[in-house]
Amino acid sequence: MFITEIFKSIQGEGTRAGLPCIFVRLTGCNLRCTWCDTAYAFHGGKKMSVAEVAACVDELAGRIPGAASEAGAPPAAVPLVELTGGEPLLQEEIYPLAQHLLASGYTVMIETSGERFIGKLPHGVIRIVDVKCPDSGEADTFEMRNLEALSQNDEIKFVLSTRRDYEFAREFTLQHNLRERVHQVLFSPVFEGPEGKWPGLEARKLVEWMLEDSLPVRLGLQLHKFVWDPATKGV
């Protein structure tokens, strides 16, 4: 598979925000969202095997070679791993990689655009699935079969840049009864792009809309962009 970067940071989004996490960023994406903050992962990358990726994860996670636990896998100081991109489901090796990490005792998450079917992923992987809103430029790309494939371990995320996006996300959430399908529904405001490349959505404004409609959803903020400069890679 082609890998853009593997690094240790804090989980910036979702219900596990703030926890230490190992990120495996796969190269390549078939969508071009207007507010994309990881366009550097569209091309290039380093070709790596499942074993090579897993070894990098083990090293960053603080696993000690030869120190096996009762379950047969070395203990990890950082047990959370996220597979991301780009779009990680574009590469077939994602499935054996996810299975290998699960078998090694990691909690495995995957962040995906929602355009690819998630049902092939191994049982136990926590799926963080986007639904693209109108102002992303990639509306109507959501794979509707994913609604039935979702479970109570998963999360649905909407990235919002305008009131129009909010109204779309609100109606999609209610129409498809998302709160009953998944662990959490996340509404995340777009963070302003570098040098004003794209406008951001004020978090307070989004909160006011959510409260006005009494929506059963959770505000999602990209914590890593408050800790580091928003343009910083590898965090």
The predicted structure's pLDDT at residue 228: 62
The predicted structure's pLDDT at residue 78: 79
Q: Show Cβ contacts of residue 30 under 8 Å, excluding neighbours closer than 6 positions.
A: 87, 90, 115
The predicted structure's pLDDT at residue 12: 82
Answer whether 189's CB lies under 8 Å from 160's CB: yes
User: Per residue in 175-195, pLDDT tens?
Assistant: 999 999 999 999 999 988 777
The pTM of the full predicted model, rounded to 2 decimals, is 0.90
Classified by CATH at the fold level, domain 2-227 comes out as TIM Barrel (3.20.20)
Helix or strand (DSSP H, E) at 24 = strand 20-26
The predicted structure's pLDDT at residue 75: 65
User: CA nearest 154: which of 187, 130, 188, 120?
Assistant: 130
The predicted structure's pLDDT at residue 119: 97
Q: Show Cβ contacts of residue 92 under 8 Å, excluding neighbours closer than 6 positions.
A: none
The predicted structure's pLDDT at residue 231: 66
Q: Which residues of the chain have pLDDT under 50?
A: 69-70
